[in-house]
Amino acid sequence: MTIAHEAEAVLDEIGKVVVGRTRTLRLALAAVLAGGHVLLEDVPGLGKTLIARSLAQALSLDFRRLQCTPDLLPADVTGSFLYDPGSREFEFHQGPVFAGLLLADEINRTPPKTQSALLEAMQERQVTVEGRTFPLPKPFHVLATSNPVEYEGTYPLPEAQLDRFLVRLDIGYPPAEEEVEVLRRRIARQREEAEVPPVLAQGRLAELQAELEKTTVDDDLLRYCVDLAVSTRKHPSVEVGASPRGAQALVLVARALAILDDRAYVTPEDIKECAVAVLAHRLVMKPETWTSGVNGVQVVTELLGKVPGPPSS
């Protein structure tokens, strides 16, 4: 069975409990295959948590959920040293970050100090507590959900943390027919929770991620990724454009999309498919755009139509 067939089986199983959301699920799986973290952003009640839990179950990842609240402390994320009366020593007790897939639910409801506790974990795959460093399991992924900053009780995510998410995906309201199907499936299963059976064997995800490194990318496509990132820095509505990490992220996700389509090489369409999800959240817009309504998604979409790319094969 090829990687593409295994990935298709994963998406098929998730699709049995998550109605629609084909593009969202495909890009989320691509980001995980590329070794990255995913941010799902939209209003409450659209299935963000269900997507995260279903993905972890299908990929056979150790799943932990961190419900972010205004009183959450950094130690609640990383873990802490507790005194053991038996040994008369302080022993480290792991926090929920020690997981294969950590669901950071409503991440922007917790203060910036606690949000920053995830930074080292997301980038370095380790945590440091009281001067001691502890490696995280491999693979390790953060799938965070976020509500719009206009909602009461939310904090904007720092740009440094946003940049650590390989993709940001907006969910959006489902079409009426899909919403009816959600209700139909809920009635049919006769319980609240929907379970997804494991599709990949334990450890298989790490093997697939290693295979991803064999996907080839032509130099003209590498140049196209850089041109897209550079063009965001020159856009008149953008204060700070995508960094070189953004161009690298484009390549990583494009390679994963190629694998999902059973190809060992990247095409311009792979880059265009993921460009908005990869780049839009990395842009810092100028203050005057707040009144005009221009956002990162619109900027990247505009640039995809302007920046010349290599011809499709």
CATH architecture, domain defined by 214-306: Orthogonal Bundle (1.10)
Mean pLDDT of 260-284: 95
Sign of CA dihedral 256, 258, 259, 264: negative
pLDDT of residue 152: 62
pLDDT of residue 149: 63
pLDDT digits (tens, 9 = 90+) for 1-33: 688 999 999 999 999 888 888 999 999 999 999
Check pLDDT > 70 for residue 142.
yes
pLDDT of residue 151: 62
Check pLDDT > 90 for residue 113.
no
Q: How confident is the model at residue 293 (pLDDT cuts 50, 70, 90)?
A: confident
The CATH class of the 3-205 domain is: alpha beta
pLDDT of residue 272: 96
Q: How far apart are CA 282 and CA 60, in angstroms?
A: 30
Check pLDDT > 90 for residue 48.
no
Q: What's the Rg (C-alpha) of the chain?
A: 20
| pTM for this model (two decimals) | 0.91
Q: Which segments of the chain belong to CATH 3.40.50.300?
A: 3-205
Q: Give kind and range of the element (H or E) at residue 143.
A: strand 141-146
pLDDT digits (tens, 9 = 90+) for 228-241: 999 999 999 999 99
Q: Which segments of the chain belong to CATH 1.10.8.80?
A: 214-306
